[in-house]
């Protein structure tokens, strides 16, 4: 991944320079490197070609920041060098630009956040799988219940016809059929009960899945929900096939704009007033964005002090105007510390915005929006930078 602002690249010993030299992503290289340190008895062939350059860049990242060799620092160095974690890339650059050190505790803190995000995603996937299984169970129980009921009716009708005859053998057969009918009716009742339980489980799982797609602090959709919504919007815009009609539809499809917002100097609020006040600031900004960006904007908390926005049906200039009005009105608000009554000062945010071109994947759109946010931070914060595709 190359630095979107080459004029701002640091000296060759900095992480920004390393990122600029990483031409190819090689996910297996970092795993091999971790394996070299964790399993010294295993001897592998040395990597060749671009893997050698990648390993050199990872080593330079670690040495330039005086970081120890641990799985967390190796993974962070790899993700920065190849540009696979946009948030990490931007946060490293911001710390470099501010003259702050990239330390092992800082990296481990980011790694812990990433682990929690992955755990939430795995839980959401598990809930989805369980919900699908509950639906299948409910359907199977209903089908079996119907079949059992029909079978019981058939047995009962047959028993009635047999009962019209005479003789001890017939009497025994009637008793047998009637016993089978009672057993079938009992089984039918149990299947109905199973169907009802499966329905209750499905509804509970559906509720849990909806809650799992929500950020509990702000009440906004979370990162996973935003990714799902963006992919859905892209599929609807691009259409199912690549024929003449679809190409025409793509050209005339409603625009999609994606943005990232980041609260300026948020760490200072946490350090000065405590995490409770920091959480309050997050909720205030979340509510403000939801109220002021318009009905065509889907707002989600992307993680930490960062929010993601999806404008459907608005071109870049219109989306920029909506978001800039929201930014300006946010800067006019004043919050007070509830304990001391002291004003917290101006709360502002920076944002990056881009419009998706037809056929462009979600990952590229998000990267452009993130680069625009980085530019907004570099240009002094409290501003919106729009980046054309």
Which residues participate in catalysis according to the annotation? 305
Contact criterion met (CB below 8 Å) for 5 and 23 = no
Query: Is the Cβ–Cβ distance between 222 and 306 less than 8 Å?
Result: no
Contacts of 27 (CB under 8 A, 6+ apart): 82, 84
CA distance linking residue 132 with residue 123, whole number of Å: 14
Residue 156: both structure tokens together: 């009962």
The C-alpha atoms of residue 231 and residue 226 are separated, in whole angstroms, by 9
> 353 - beta bridge partners?
259, 386
Tokens of 222: 């979370």
Helix (H, G, I), strand (E, B) or coil at 157: helix
Q: What is the rounded CA–CA span in Å between residue 257 and residue 356?
A: 6
- Cα 122 to chain centroid distance, Å, stands at 11
Q: Which of 352, 341, 359 is nearest to 386 (CA)?
A: 352
Q: What is the largest CA-CA distance in the chain?
A: 106
How wide is the angle at C-alpha 303 spanned by C-alphas 121 and 334, nearest 5°?
150
Residue with tokens 């006040």: 277
DSSP letter at 383 equals: S
* Distance, CA of 355 to CA of 257 (rounded, Å): 4
Non-local (6+) Cβ contacts of 82 within 8 A are: 1, 22, 24, 25, 26, 27, 54
DSSP type of residue 6: G
- Indicate the SS3 state at residue 265: coil
Other CB atoms within 10 A of residue 149 CB: 17
41 burial type by CB count under 10 A (0-12 exposed, 13-18 middle, 19+ buried): exposed
């Amino acid at each position: 991944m190359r630095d979107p602002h080459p004029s701002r690249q640091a000296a060759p010993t900095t992480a920004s320079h390393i990122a600029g030299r990483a031409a190819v992503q090689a996910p297996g290289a970092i795993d091999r490197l971790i394996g070299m340190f964790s399993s010294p008895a295993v001897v592998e062939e040395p990597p060749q070609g671009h893997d050698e350059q990648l390993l050199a860049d990872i080593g330079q990242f670690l040495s330039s920041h005086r970081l120890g060799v641990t799985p967390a620092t190796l993974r962070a160095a790899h993700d920065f060098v190849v540009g696979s974690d946009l948030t990490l890339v931007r946060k490293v650059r911001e710390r470099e630009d501010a003259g702050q050190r990239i330390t092992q505790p800082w990296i481990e803190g980011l790694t812990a956040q990433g682990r929690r995000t992955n755990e939430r995603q795995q839980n959401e996937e598990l809930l989805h799988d369980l919900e699908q299984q509950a639906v299948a169970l409910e359907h199977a129980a209903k089908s079996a219940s119907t079949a059992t009921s029909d079978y019981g009716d058939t047995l009962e009708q047959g028993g009635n016809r047999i009962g019209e005859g005479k003789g001890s053998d017939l009497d025994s057969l009637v008793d047998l059929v009637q016993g089978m009918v009672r057993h079938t009716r009992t089984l039918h009742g149990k299947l109905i009960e199973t169907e009802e339980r499966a329905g209750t489980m499905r509804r509970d799982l559906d509720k849990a899945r909806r809650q799992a797609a929500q950020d509990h602090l702000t009440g906004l959709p979370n990162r996973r929900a935003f990714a799902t919504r963006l992919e859905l919007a892209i599929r609807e815009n691009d259409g199912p096939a690549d024929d003449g009609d679809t190409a025409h539809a793509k050209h005339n499809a409603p625009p999609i704009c994606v943005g990232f917002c980041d609260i300026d100097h948020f760490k200072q609020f946490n350090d000065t007033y405590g995490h409770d006040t920091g959480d309050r600031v997050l909720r205030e900004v979340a509510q403000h964005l939801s109220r002021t960006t318009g009905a065509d904007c889907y707002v989600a908390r992307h993680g930490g002090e960062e929010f993601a926005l999806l404008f459907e049906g608005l071109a870049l200039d219109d989306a920029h105007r909506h978001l800039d009005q929201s930014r300006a009105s946010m800067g006019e608000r004043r919050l007070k510390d509830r304990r001391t009554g002291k004003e917290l000062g101006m709360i502002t945010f920076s944002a990056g915005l881009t419009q998706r071109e037809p056929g462009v994947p979600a990952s590229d759109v998000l990267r452009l929006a993130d680069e625009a946010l980085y530019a907004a931070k570099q240009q002094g914060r409290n501003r919106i930078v729009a980046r054309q595709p």
